[in-house]
Amino acid sequence: MKNMKKMYLLAAMAACSSAFAQSNTVVRWRGLAGVITASGVDNPVGDIHSGAGPWIATGGSAAIDLATGEGSFDVDGLVLNGGPASGTPGGVTSVVGTLVCNPSSAAGSDQTATNTPITPLSRLGDAELSFTINIPQPCSNPLFLIRTPGGRWIATATRPVVADSRTR
């Protein structure tokens, strides 16, 4: 009977330690901001170039579980800020989310970028998507970008918070 209690106690301790080891796997970004770039000026994130012209976003968020690859993003009011298409998404009708792991300002670093599927961008600049992607390892200091399907980033997730995956 004592050995059985010890085995249950050891099993419970192992379960608690594995749950603790898997905590802090969800990264949430509590805001989204458009790229602030003048026309003709590039503002790269590693080897990912910025979109032409300044963009703004009125709101949005992103979250991804770095253990499972499950995530989501939503963006509100992602529109151009200046020029004849100001206040609209211009010719951009869809976007893709990109998780950037190990970001660096130097091209050719160990940076990796993994894209979500493409999702429509409304004429008001709104989009949302739930997805599952393969997470490259290691994935340090993750960033989340909103990009045109052509590959240029037009918004970035802001205010990152690391959370326990059990509280998603």
Give 33's strand partners: 156
Q: Average pLDDT for residues 139-152, to the nearest whole number?
A: 93
Average pLDDT in the 28-39 region?
Answer: 90
pLDDT-derived band at 5, boundaries 50, 70, 90: very low
Most confident of 4-18, 49-63, 94-108: 49-63
- Per-residue pLDDT, 14: 34
* Reduced 3-state DSSP string for the chain: CHHHHHHHHHHHHHHHHHHHHCCCCEEEEEEEEECCCCCCCCCCECCECECCCCEECCEEEEEEECCCCEEEEEEECCEECCCCCCCCCCCCCEEEEEEEECCCCCCCCCCEEEEEEEEECCCCCCEEEEEECCCCCCCCCCEEEEECCCCCEEEEEEEEEEECHHHC
**How confident is the model at residue 164, as a pLDDT?**
61
Give me the chain's average pLDDT, please: 83
Output 59 or 39, whichever has higher pLDDT.
59
pLDDT for residue 162: 83
Global pTM value: 0.81
Residue 20 has pLDDT above 60, yes or no: no
Quickly state the pLDDT bin for 39 (edges 50, 70, 90).
confident
Average pLDDT rounded to a whole number, residues 10-29: 51
pLDDT for the residue 109 = 65
